[in-house]
């Protein structure tokens, strides 16, 4: 007897399904589809992410064992066959799920807008980087990387308030990281934290002209002339805080404005670091602390590779790979939305672990996901008589 909603169905209630159907209509996802809808495809792939399924056969076997519950989980198909799911992943436009994930991202960013940053700063702060997912060249020939390997790159712009990916671009392994700056729409007043691989002064000047600020590691061959030096407290690790002009022929033409150069020696490792920024009002030490936050995107990449299914793919076509990655991202964002809406203190890792084991239970989500100490059981031996002295 059905006595309540399943945990999976309660999660799906947090999805804006009207937006999903608009995305499906925009890209013709239901064209000549009779039974296995785009929503069924999305739910099957999200189920795989939440329960750590490793293959299409895994998905089919698990959902077939629970076929009587599929309707109550949100599915409108009676069974999920691996061949049908494989065909849907290969043929239905991945932009359906990419655009839907972007809609979820906008919702999550509004929920996490008030999260503490770790630095006293009212501006939005982004970290930009890319991670490589290795593939087999003979199986994925559309994603060349080096002569004997294939790979896809996941270029991500991470909003550091809540660690929500605000922009994602998927490319083959040969696509240079710095080119993703051409895909971004700069946000005026926002800070962009960049590694040395993104040193391209023409593209950085485009950020500056748009009213955005960047903090980037300088390369060792930087050519610049000092114009002003500002006082620093060397006991904090700061070496110098200077206003400079670029003197290289190409760099000076690409970035004609002055730039701020800060030298800092890391007290922990003793490494000397040089930062460039176009923001001249922040204290120099705040700039170095701000750049340290960029490490969060490295942790984000490590986290999603460990806890989402994006290293082993269910299909070999470009469309199937992009579909799986975008649904994985939307599942991550969905759990983050649920965490915020329900006011949960558990981490995303803990929530995913709980959900993976309870997806077919009918416990209310707030009760299931709220941390509670186990009941204390009194020691029964305290009421026993002493038999031997």
Q: Provide the 3-class DSSP secondary structure of residue 345.
A: coil
| Residue 349 C-alpha from the chain's centroid | 14
For residue 223, CA distances in Å to 5, 253, 271 come to 64, 13, 20
CA angle 323–5–353, rounded 5-degree value: 55
Strands 191-194 and 164-172: unpaired
- Beta carbons of 153 and 301 less than 8 angstroms apart: no
- Per-residue model confidence as pLDDT tens digits over 46-89: 999 999 999 999 999 999 999 999 999 999 988 999 999 999 99
Q: Identify the pLDDT of residue 380.
A: 54
- Beta carbons of 123 and 189 less than 8 angstroms apart: yes
Confidence of residue 389 (pLDDT cuts 50, 70, 90): low
Q: How far is the C-alpha of 272 from the C-alpha of 238, rounded, in Å?
A: 9
Q: Identify the pLDDT of residue 373.
A: 47
For residue 221, CA distances in Å to 28, 128, 178, 215 come to 51, 22, 18, 18
- Beta carbons of 225 and 247 less than 8 angstroms apart: yes
- Per-residue model confidence as pLDDT tens digits over 133-157: 999 999 999 999 988 899 999 999 9
Dihedral sign for Cα atoms in the order 58, 60, 66, 70: positive
- Per-residue model confidence as pLDDT tens digits over 100-115: 999 999 999 999 988 8
Q: How far is the C-alpha of 340 from the C-alpha of 112, rounded, in Å?
A: 8
| φ/ψ of residue 311, rounded to 5 | -105, -25
**pTM of structure:** 0.89
- Per-residue model confidence as pLDDT tens digits over 269-300: 788 999 999 999 999 999 999 999 999 999 99
Q: How far is the C-alpha of 70 from the C-alpha of 64, rounded, in Å?
A: 9
Q: How far is the C-alpha of 380 from the C-alpha of 386, rounded, in Å?
A: 13
Q: How far is the C-alpha of 39 from the C-alpha of 76, rounded, in Å?
A: 9
Q: How far is the C-alpha of 321 from the C-alpha of 319, rounded, in Å?
A: 6
Length of the chain: 389
């Amino acid at each position: 007897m059905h006595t309540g909603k399943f945990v999976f169905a309660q999660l799906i209630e947090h999805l804006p399904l009207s937006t999903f159907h608009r995305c499906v209509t925009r890209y013709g996802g239901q064209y000549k589809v009779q039974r296995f809808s785009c929503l069924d495809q999305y739910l099957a792939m999200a189920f795989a992410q939440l329960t750590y399924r490793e293959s299409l056969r895994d998905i089919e076997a698990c959902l077939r064992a629970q076929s009587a519950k599929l309707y109550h989980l949100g599915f409108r198909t009676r069974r999920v066959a691996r061949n049908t799911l494989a065909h849907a992943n290969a043929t239905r436009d991945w932009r359906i799920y990419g655009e839907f994930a972007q809609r979820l991202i906008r919702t999550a960013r509004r929920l996490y807008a008030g999260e503490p940053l770790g630095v006293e700063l009212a501006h939005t702060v982004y970290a930009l980087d890319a991670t490589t997912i290795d593939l087999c060249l003979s199986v994925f020939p559309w994603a060349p990387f080096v002569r004997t390997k294939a790979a896809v790159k996941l270029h991500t712009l991470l909003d550091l308030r809540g660690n929500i990916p605000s922009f994602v671009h998927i490319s083959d392994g040969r696509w240079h990281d710095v080119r993703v700056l051409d895909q971004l729409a700069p946000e005026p007043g926002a800070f962009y934290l960049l590694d040395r691989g993104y040193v391209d002064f023409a593209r950085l000047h485009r950020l500056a002209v748009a009213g955005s600020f960047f903090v980037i590691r300088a390369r060792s061959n930087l050519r610049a002339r000092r114009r002003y030096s500002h006082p620093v407290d060397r006991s904090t690790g700061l070496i110098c805080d200077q206003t400079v002009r670029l003197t290289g022929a190409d760099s000076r033409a690409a970035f004609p404005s002055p730039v701020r150069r800060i030298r800092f020696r890391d007290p922990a490792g003793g490494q000397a670091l040089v930062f460039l920024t176009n923001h001249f009002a922040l204290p120099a030490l705040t700039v170095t602390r701000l750049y340290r936050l960029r490490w969060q995107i490295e942790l984000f990449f490590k986290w999603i590779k460990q806890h989402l299914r994006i290293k082993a793919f269910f299909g070999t076509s470009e469309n199937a790979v992009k579909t799986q990655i975008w649904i994985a991202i939307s599942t991550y964002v969905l759990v983050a939305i649920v965490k915020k809406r329900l006011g949960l203190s558990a981490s995303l890792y803990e929530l995913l672990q709980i959900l993976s084991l309870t997806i077919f239970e009918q416990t209310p989500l707030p009760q299931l996901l709220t941390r509670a100490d186990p009941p204390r059981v009194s020691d029964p031996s305290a009421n026993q008589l002493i038999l031997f002295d």
